[in-house]
Amino acid sequence: MEGRKVSDTLNIHTELIMPAHTNPIGNLMGGHLLSWMDVCAGISAIKHSGGISVTASLDNVSFNLPIKMGDIVILKSFVTRAFNTSMEVICEVFIKNIKTQEEVKSHEAFFSFVGLDFRNTTPIKVLPVIPETEREKELYEDALHRRELRLINAGKMNAKDSVYLKKEFFNDNDDGVNVI
Ligand SMILES: CC(C)(COP(=O)(O)OP(=O)(O)OC[C@H]1O[C@@H](n2cnc3c(N)ncnc32)[C@H](O)[C@@H]1OP(=O)(O)O)[C@@H](O)C(=O)NCCC(=O)NCCS
């Protein structure tokens, strides 16, 4: 089957946290991080689709670990799965300790991008993704569930049509009545 390997969509971006990026207590502002994550993930989507791709949505991001002024952060993204015109991209953020070379993961988010035609107006079909490693295969499988949940959240899918919700939370009994 024609497709593109996950590894071909890998994008890595490094930033040094400067005073202009921080809030009054010296932590990186969330908006800056989100902007870098969006661009990093968008480049992965462009690598996959071969053309312009727009952000359709971003699943939740928690700011559990502060990134401090002077820290070096590394953003890594790749396409986990392509559907029809849309692609799911994971973007992970790591704080790098230069002395030890250790990288600690601080943030993670799943983005959805839609490939557009040459006029940048109409969604176009994108190639399938070819997962190779165990992690890539796991992310690929689970992407179907995440897609259903985000489309339900966006009001673009009826929860009753979700294969994932039916399988995980409901059992169809013989009377055709759903029980939790
Ligand atoms: C994203 C966008 C192209 C979707 O257009 P649309 O008319 O809703 O198109 P469709 O309903 O045909 O959906 C196209 C694809 O987007 C996906 N999609 C739509 N809304 C989505 C959402 N909230 N989250 C994830 N995917 C979404 C659909 O599932 C579909 O994917 P598929 O073809 O793989 O099944 C359109 O809403 C848009 O242009 N939004 C603005 C994008 C932008 O400017 N982003 C920059 C940040 S402001």
* Residue bearing the CA closest to ligand 1, atom 44: 54
Residue 125 CB less than 6 A away from ligand 1: no
Residue 128 CB less than 6 A away from ligand 1: no
Residue 159 CB less than 6 A away from ligand 1: no
List the one residue out of 51, 122, 129, 59 whose CA is nearest residue 87.
Answer: 129
In this prediction, residues 105-115 reach a mean pLDDT of 97
Convert the pLDDT of each residue in 57-83 to its tens digit. Answer: 999 898 889 999 999 999 999 999 999
In angstroms, what is the span from residue 85 Cα to ligand 1's centroid?
Answer: 8
Mutating to test ligand 1, I would choose from 49, 52, 86, 148 the residue with most ligand atoms within 8 A of its C-beta, which is: 86
Convert the pLDDT of each residue in 10-27 to its tens digit. Answer: 999 999 999 999 999 999
Least confident span in 3-7, 55-59, 130-134, 176-180: 176-180
Residue spans per domain, the chain: 4-132
Tell me the C-alpha distance between 41 and 99, whole Å: 28
Give the per-residue pLDDT at 131: 98
Tell me the C-alpha distance between 21 and 69, whole Å: 8
Task: With 0.75 as the threshold, say if the pTM is over it.
Answer: yes
Mutating to test ligand 1, I would choose from 81, 114, 129 the residue with most ligand atoms within 8 A of its C-beta, which is: 114
- DSSP-derived 3-state class of residue 96: strand
Enter the DSSP assignment of 21. G
Class (C level, CATH) for 4-132: alpha beta
Residue 149 CB less than 6 A away from ligand 1: no
Residue 98: C-alpha distances to residues 15, 104, 148 (Å): 13, 12, 40
> Partners of 107 in the beta sheet?
93
In angstroms, what is the span from residue 114 Cα to ligand 1's centroid?
Answer: 6
In angstroms, what is the span from residue 57 Cα to ligand 1's centroid?
Answer: 8
